Amino acid sequence: MYVVVAKSRPLVCEHVPRPVGAGARGIAQERKRLTVLDDNRKILLLGSGFVAAPFVEYVLRRPENKLTVASRTLANAQALAAKYPNNTTAVAVDITDDKAIEDLVAQHDIAISLIPYIYHAKVIAAAVKHKKNVVTTSYVSPAMMEYDQAAKDAGITVMNEIGLDPGIDHLYAVKTIDEVHKEGGKLKEFISFCGGLPAPENSDNPFGYKFSWSARGVLLALKNTAKYLEKGKVVEVSGPELMDSVRVLNTGYPGYSFVGYGNRDSTPYDKRYNIPDAETIIRGSIRYDGFPQFAKALVSLGFLSEEPVAHLAADAGDITWSQVIAQVVGINSTAEDALKAAIIEKAGIADSPRLAQILDGMRWLGFFSDVKAHRRGNLLDTFCATLEEKMQYEEGERDMCFLQHRFEIELKDGSHQTRTSTMIEYGTPGGFSAMAKTVGVPCGIATQLILDGKLNQKGVLAPMTPEINNPIMELLEKENIGVVEKIL
């Protein structure tokens, strides 16, 4: 008689009959033949947004994986599940309902949290209680890190920062830094810029940008303070000054004209990447040249304001964009020439070399027209409604993700060396976008490695060590996602 106990428990064989005429090899073969692998690995996917589909496609290549897609709106979960009907179930869940989340987590082997980052700690708490693993693509927040010891005590893996940025950027930063250290060298400068943009042929608007998710999130990021280390000094750039801090990027690819600006706080990466000798550490976002000047003009006019505005309230009367702009710049006229003059004065762009481009962009947005604004209560959300209407990807268009690390290295013999690691990934019209693929696939790989027991470190983790990263990179490159490394 054979008794096979479910996955994660030891296989118990009460009695193994010896095959007639067989030795030890025959017994081993019989054991192997009769050992039944658990074909019911239960994966919970919280969130059904646009990066979820590549994740689902990847994990469902394995027939033993059974996936539950949970979303606030059942129809959204059903739509994603319908694309992958084998081994998928769709459910609705309210992320603010602690008991509902806990019950779902308890029913699965691993929880993938692709919901807003503020809810990850809630998911981790449930996972700790029920000893389930977790994967997110988000930065580790202080609230998440509070569960590190509890996760270790529970014997679970909570893997985070495994998308594109953060994610793929970490993998190839750590790879080169580890190689330099093993060669006896030191990292003197680490400069990394990453961004998701329309492919050059589809960057056909004044921003050179299109939205594959919330325009609000993209714009609010312009208010964040950037902090980085440059030539041994900590530099802090406040949100209002962020667009003034952009730099032209020398990528080594002349066909791409990018500028970059700091993203959040880069200063902890001396410890996270183990580069204490670095005098410059900058991690930033890229945009096409022209974006910062246009964005700065809009910021100067107050378009990031979330303050309630009476004439933009939902129950207010219809209002045209030219009337909105007249209110913004404080004049009574809605004539285009008058509006332009007032914009130039208020935004302080009279001497800008991009003046004509900025004004053309505002005309394209409809600022001087009788088109009715979509009133959303404040200037930011009213503006976002127009951006999301005018700046979506059209059918047949493709996006592009560009990531580049630049390493300035002091070799063991004291000489200097510059290395770069560059990833350029394009979306596939009718298929996955580059952004969805480069976020969803790494997440799927990490999930599968945890299920297979190959990624088994415990606690709240990020991809910061070769032991974690190398298996992920190996599988990532099998999906044709990776970097080109050069010594300049």
Q: Taking the CA of residue 350 as centre, how many other CA atoms within 13 Å lie in the half-sphere pointing to its CB? A: 5
Coil vs helix vs strand at 304: coil
Report which of 447, 457, 461, 476 is spatially closest to residue 41, judged by C-alpha positions.
447
**Does residue 139 sit in the same domain as residue 251?**
no
pLDDT at 285 (0 to 100): 95
Q: How far is CA 312 from CA 297, 364, 420, 466, in A?
A: 21, 21, 48, 53
Residue 85 is inside which H or E element, if any? none
* Residue 269: alpha-carbon gap to chain centroid: 18
Q: What angle do CA 455, 44, 12 make, to 5 degrees?
A: 60
pLDDT at 4 (0 to 100): 26
**Does residue 123 sit in the same domain as residue 175?**
no
Q: What angle do CA 262, 195, 485 make, to 5 degrees?
A: 95
pLDDT at 21 (0 to 100): 41
**Does residue 45 sit in the same domain as residue 23?**
no
Report which of 73, 57, 67, 62 is spatially closest to residue 37, judged by C-alpha positions.
62
* pLDDT per residue rounded down to tens, the chain (488 residues): 222 222 222 323 333 333 334 445 544 443 443 333 446 899 999 999 989 999 999 999 999 999 999 999 999 999 999 999 999 999 999 999 999 999 999 999 999 999 999 999 999 999 999 999 999 999 999 999 999 999 999 999 999 999 999 999 999 999 999 999 999 999 999 999 999 999 999 999 988 999 877 788 888 888 899 999 999 999 999 988 999 999 999 999 988 889 999 999 999 999 999 999 999 999 999 999 989 999 999 999 999 999 999 999 989 999 999 999 999 999 999 999 999 999 999 999 999 999 999 999 999 999 999 999 999 999 999 999 999 999 999 999 999 999 999 999 999 999 999 999 999 999 999 999 999 999 999 999 999 999 999 999 999 999 999 999 999 999 999 999 999 999 99
**Does residue 55 sit in the same domain as residue 123?**
yes
**Does residue 230 sit in the same domain as residue 316?**
no
**Does residue 281 sit in the same domain as residue 426?**
yes
337 domain-assigned: yes
460 domain-assigned: no
Per-residue model confidence as pLDDT tens digits over 308-336: 999 999 899 999 999 999 999 999 999 99
**Does residue 222 sit in the same domain as residue 265?**
yes
pLDDT at 240 (0 to 100): 85
134 domain-assigned: yes
pLDDT at 50 (0 to 100): 86
Go through the chain and tell me how many residues it has: 488
Q: Is 165 a catalytic site residue?
A: yes
Q: Which domain holds residue 119?
A: 41-159
**Does residue 139 sit in the same domain as residue 229?**
no
Among the listed residues 109, 165, 169, 381, the single catalytic one is: 165
pLDDT at 39 (0 to 100): 62
The CATH number assigned to the domain holding 312 equals: 1.10.1870.10
